[in-house]
Amino acid sequence: MLTSRFQDVTARGTVEQHGSNVRQKSGLNRSNLDQAWAETRRQLEYKQLWIGGEVLAINPARTSRTCSCCDHVDPASRISQALFHCTNCGNDLNADVNASINIEAAGHVVLACGQPPLGGSVKKEPLRNREKVAA
């Protein structure tokens, strides 16, 4: 049986049995909100523009359920928060590593083809239009 080291940090509870470590969980939530993710992304985009780079926003939907080796999608492949085992080809990886490989591949699709992966929208102009605007 796999257990997480954060298993006991939960604010979930009932009227009869209160949640455990509620104060720790609220502190963790507060620190996550303090990180200012939008500002981090804005700074990253600014710096990349400054040096001539580009930041791609890739939709992470289904990346943690898709095998990075055979592209088989199955929610049962995600054994736990940390482990991924493909039910089709048997690929074993850390779940975050598997998802990051899928996100990187989706980014390469956008760069190579100018098309959004998985039928999604990246909400930006096609490459040919951006070249005309930049000129």
Residue 41 lies in a domain: no
| CA distance linking residue 135 with residue 122, whole number of Å | 22
Helix (H, G, I), strand (E, B) or coil at 36: coil
Q: Is residue 131 part of a domain?
A: yes
Is 35 within a domain?
A: no
Residue 129: which domain range?
Answer: 58-135
Q: Residue 6: inside a domain, yes or no?
A: no
What is this structure's pTM?
Answer: 0.59
Give the count of domains, the chain. Answer: 1
What are the pLDDT digits (tens) for 54-112? 888 888 888 989 999 999 999 999 988 899 999 999 999 999 999 999 999 999 888 88
Residue 17 lies in a domain: no
Give the Cα separation of 125 and 57 in Å (integer): 13
The b-or-e profile of 94-108 (16+ CB within 10 A means b, else e) is ebeebbbbbbeebbe
String of DSSP letters for 62-98: TTTTB-TTT--B-GGGB-SSSEEE-TTT--EEEHHHH
